[in-house]
Structure 1
Amino acid sequence: MTVGGRQYEGRMSEIWDRLRHVTDPELDESVTELGFVTTVEVDAVDHVHIQFRLPTYWCAANFAFMMADDMRAAVSAVSWVSGVSVVLGEHMYADKINRGISQGQSFQEAFGSEANGDLSEVRRTFLLKAFQRRQEALLSQLLARGYRPEQLVVMSLAELEVLLVERQGQDLVGRYLERREIVGPCSPDAPAFLSVEGWRLPADGLEAYVRGLRRVGVNAEFNGALCRGLLSVRFDMTTPLPERPKMNPS
């Protein structure tokens, strides 16, 4: 179905917004902010075509597969989308990944005997690391604002949700809540802050706990800087990507 320019522009914005919430599993950064997504197109029958790239030819196949599958799932959830194609370019396993995603296969089905381990366990491991990084960022800001450890360890999710805590344009509360459910129930009266094991945090030693979490983020920050550097060396990052089309091609 052909749509007018304004409606098409709105649909493109909606797709880019969905992709913005897809993250590199290791870095916990948006695939769009990292510059991985190069092309998004919507054709005449509302099928979305996505192309993406990675910093090196040999980036881990399981991470690449997860990102491709997450992009497909995020965009497929949009009500008007009739189908999604996700294509990884210039990667040693691009053919297997692209074929597996297009056929709706799991990582194990796509790679057969080459697959090493269950992606669900890998995914959970990195979701927990992402949770820790987001928790550290939020707790650090709250402590800097003057909240006492005794207040924070008894704070409920309902009390946390009404707070506005920003840093460098990021909504720290919103980002944290996106990962909070991985460690425990998220009812309004549930504790806002838990450890990765699902335990309540003690007031005594909370600041030391936060310093410990900070070490988790150092490695991810280094890897993020490395990925950006490698991407800029491999690809032309100075020329802007093609502008999003304003009109749906007839």
Structure 2
Amino acid sequence: MATASVSGSRKNELWRCLGEVNDPELDEPITEMGFVERAEVTSDGSVDIDFRLPTYWCSPNFAFLMLDGVRKALDQLSWSPAYRVKLHDHMFAEEVNRGMEAGKTFGDIFAELAEDQDLGALRETFRMKAFKRRQEAVLRGLRQQGLTDREILEMDLPVYDVAGFEPGEAAKQKPRYRAALLERFPDRRAYDPVFVTWDGERIPPTALTGYLGELRGVRINMEFNGALCRGLKQTRYKELDVVDGEPTLVDFIMDRVPARAAPTA
């Protein structure tokens, strides 16, 4: 019984840690996107993970950022296990898996596969988009509660922390926006305004409507890309996503993707 309890506890911890790793472009957990196909704790305490992206052609940069996130999550596990992460059905899967088996770091493996892009700059771009998407959800939620734009934009962290939402997108994004804010501005003071631009500028109440329009564009782009990624993966592996017996946005999009179109990720 004790052994089973430890195994169950470790498996829960494993999935919880993996659930904190996001697709960098979409700001959605890789577990919810279905990229982690298998994550198991073996009898000796080591960890085996099978990882699969939506298409064979997914950018190696995106693969690197996600696999690096997986590595960091696994390094945080309380029992410090040995682990094996295997990438499947990707154009660089052979190179990645061979490198990992040889004990190379992800940085070494992807040094020649990163398409000569600055991964630090790419990571920063995705952090900015995630910041804006999370912020927009909370701002809209506060407006729906009847707060004035001035009340919202004068909100500091103590007031923000006690604000409540009904279950939904604003409630989901509230702690995530707080985390993004503190990551972006680690030296901010508790009584500084919570809602600022990515560059740290205050938002005048008269400008909030226009600012929300900008954030809405970021969200719609990310939501569409997320739906497309899910659709590509589901179509590729013959999975079906149905909610309450009705076709989802994924089905709608995939019905309109030309059969000969080259998918991108």
Q: TM-score, normalised to structure 2's length?
A: 0.82
Q: Is the 2:64–2:106 contact (alpha carbons within 8 Å) kept by the matching residues of 1?
A: no
Q: In structure 2, do the counterparts of structure 1 residues 114 and 197 end up closer, same or farther at CA, with 3 Å as the change threshold?
A: same
1:149 matched to 2:149? The reply is yes
CA distance in 2, matches of 1:99, 1:160: 48
Matched residue pairs, number? 237
The alignment partner of 2:34 has SS state of coil
CA distance in 2, matches of 1:3, 1:42: 15
Match 2:229 to one of 224, 227, 232: 227
1:59-74 to 2 correspondence within 5 Å? 59-74=58-73
Structure 1 stretches of 4+ moved >6 Å = none
Q: Is the 1:164–1:173 contact (alpha carbons within 8 Å) kept by the matching residues of 2?
A: no
The alignment partner of 1:86 has SS state of strand
- Percent identity over the alignment? 39
Whose relative contact order is higher, 1 or 2, with alpha carbons under 8 Å and at least 6 apart?
Answer: 1
The unaligned stretches of length 5 or more in structure 2 are 242-265
CA distance in 2, matches of 1:216, 1:85: 35
1:14-33 to 2 correspondence within 5 Å? 14-33=13-32
**Cα displacement (A) at 1:161:** 1.6
Residue in structure 2 matched with residue 172 of structure 1 by the alignment: 173
The unaligned stretches of length 5 or more in structure 1 are 240-250
Q: In structure 2, do the counterparts of structure 1 residues 151 and 101 end up closer, same or farther at CA, with 3 Å as the change threshold?
A: farther
Residue in structure 1 matched with residue 138 of structure 2 by the alignment: 138
The alignment partner of 2:206 has SS state of coil
**Cα displacement (A) at 1:74:** 1.0
Deviations 1:202-234 (A, max 9, x none): 111212211221011111111111111110111
1:28-47 to 2 correspondence within 5 Å? 28-47=27-46
1:100-119 to 2 correspondence within 5 Å? 100-101=99-100, 103-107=103-107, 109-115=108-114, 116-119=116-119
Deviations 1:116-175 (A, max 9, x none): 122111111101101101101110010111111111212112221222334159522112
Q: CA RMSD in A?
A: 2.2
Residue in structure 2 matched with residue 246 of structure 1 by the alignment: none
Residue in structure 1 matched with residue 196 of structure 2 by the alignment: 194
Q: In structure 2, do the counterparts of structure 1 residues 201 and 233 end up closer, same or farther at CA, with 3 Å as the change threshold?
A: same
Q: In structure 2, do the counterparts of structure 1 residues 101 and 136 end up closer, same or farther at CA, with 3 Å as the change threshold?
A: farther
Pick which of 143-152 and 179-188 moved more. Answer: 179-188
CA distance in 2, matches of 1:100, 1:78: 23
Residue in structure 2 matched with residue 205 of structure 1 by the alignment: 207
Deviations 1:102-124 (A, max 9, x none): 635254x3244443122111111
The alignment partner of 2:205 has SS state of coil
